[in-house]
């Protein structure tokens, strides 16, 4: 029994450029969310002792802005790849760029909303709330 090799369109393309934006939306935004979560909840005893609530707000703002930047980088790469839906049958660099760009942009927006929700909770609840 012989089998025919299946090749996806564009699968034989060689990568021509590397982009930070392809992975920034996934890895960068995840790292920023983890930093924000650990920083605002792990520093509660210190912030309570120093009465420095503003530190958690600054950390949340910096991480939120960083996550939005990661979303913009991923969105920019998705637009550069053609703004089409990531097709299941498209291979190669263009298919990868579409997939990672769309996924990174959507995932970064989700994590930006999560960071914002955690910042709102930190804004309304004092660290020394006992």
- pLDDT tens, position by position, 25-36: 999 999 999 999
Share of the chain above pLDDT 70, in %: 82
What is the rounded CA–CA span in Å between residue 12 and residue 113? 38
- Would you say residue 4 lies in a domain? no
- Would you say residue 130 lies in a domain? no
Instruction: Report DSSP letters for 79-101, one per residue.
Output: HHTTS----TT--HHHHHHHHHH
Q: Which domain holds residue 49?
A: 20-124
- Would you say residue 114 lies in a domain? yes
- Would you say residue 6 lies in a domain? no
- 119 has a pLDDT exceeding 70: yes
Question: How many domains in the chain?
Answer: 1
The mean predicted confidence, pLDDT, of the chain is: 84
- Would you say residue 46 lies in a domain? yes
- Tell me: the pLDDT tens digits for 12-27? 554 445 677 788 899 9
Q: What is the pTM of this model?
A: 0.80
Q: What CA dihedral angle connects 37, 67, 22 and 106, to 10 degrees?
A: 90
């Amino acid at each position: 029994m012989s089998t025919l090799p299946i090749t996806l369109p564009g699968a034989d393309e060689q990568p021509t450029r590397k982009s930070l934006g392809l992975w920034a939306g996934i890895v960068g935004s995840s790292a920023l969310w983890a930093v924000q979560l650990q920083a605002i909840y792990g520093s509660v005893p210190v912030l309570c002792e120093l009465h420095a609530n503003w530190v958690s707000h600054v950390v949340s703002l910096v991480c939120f802005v960083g996550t939005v930047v990661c979303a913009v980088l991923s969105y920019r790469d998705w637009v550069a790849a053609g703004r089409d839906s990531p097709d299941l049958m498209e291979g190669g660099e263009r298919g990868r760029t579409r997939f990672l760009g769309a996924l990174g942009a959507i995932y970064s927006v989700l994590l930006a909303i999560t960071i914002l929700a955690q910042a709102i909770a930190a804004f309304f609840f004092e660290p020394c709330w006992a």
